[in-house]
Structure 1
Amino acid sequence: MSVRPRMTNLFEQLGLDSSEEAIALFIATHQLNPQTKITEADYWTEGQRQFLAEKIKSDGSWAITVDQLNESLHEDSVEK
């Protein structure tokens, strides 16, 4: 049985601080416009970008977590 990846795991894999506060701060300070795909954001390193793209393509449980991050990073651009 594999453990379903969580946002904290995703941030650890990306080499980022994975505390709840750090994740919330990252999301709040790294909002993307609606046209920018998560993998096109200019703040990722090449390795992080490849990791995200790979997980999205895998269509497994990681893809769900990356999609959640993607939605969170586009919160400000979505009409409420």
Structure 2
Amino acid sequence: MDTTESRMTTLFEQLGLESSNEAIAAFILGHQLPADVKVTEATYWSAAQRQFLGEQLKEDADWAIVVDELNEALHADSVAR
């Protein structure tokens, strides 16, 4: 059973963002990052969102896998180039 969508949905809920599949896809499409910008350095995050993402990656917490998946999705355009 693939739980990626539900885990991403839960991450978006944790970040206080719209969490429907359509909203997640639109967010990712509209917020692509250049290759040299870390997901935790994106200017569109609030301070609390940035802190949450950074802590999860630093602590290698359960959320780290989903945050990494989001990171990959947000860098998809720069990787494709």
TM-score by length of 2: 0.89
* Equivalence for 1:61: 62
| Structure with the higher fraction of residues in helix conformation | 2
Equivalent pairs, count: 77
* Equivalence for 2:3: none
Between the aligned partners of 1:8 and 1:58, the Cα distance in structure 2 is 21
Between the aligned partners of 2:38 and 2:13, the Cα distance in structure 1 is 21
Between the aligned partners of 2:24 and 2:61, the Cα distance in structure 1 is 22
Between the aligned partners of 1:79 and 1:69, the Cα distance in structure 2 is 16
- Structure 2, unaligned runs of 5 or more: 1-5
Between the aligned partners of 1:40 and 1:70, the Cα distance in structure 2 is 11
Identity %: 63
CA RMSD of aligned residues (A): 1.6
Between the aligned partners of 1:72 and 1:59, the Cα distance in structure 2 is 19
| Offset at residue 57 of structure 1 (A) | 1.1
* Equivalence for 1:77: 78
Deviations 1:20-79 (A, max 9, x none): 000000000000000000000000000000000011112122100000000000000013
- Runs of 4+ with deviation above 3 angstroms: none
Between the aligned partners of 2:22 and 2:56, the Cα distance in structure 1 is 24
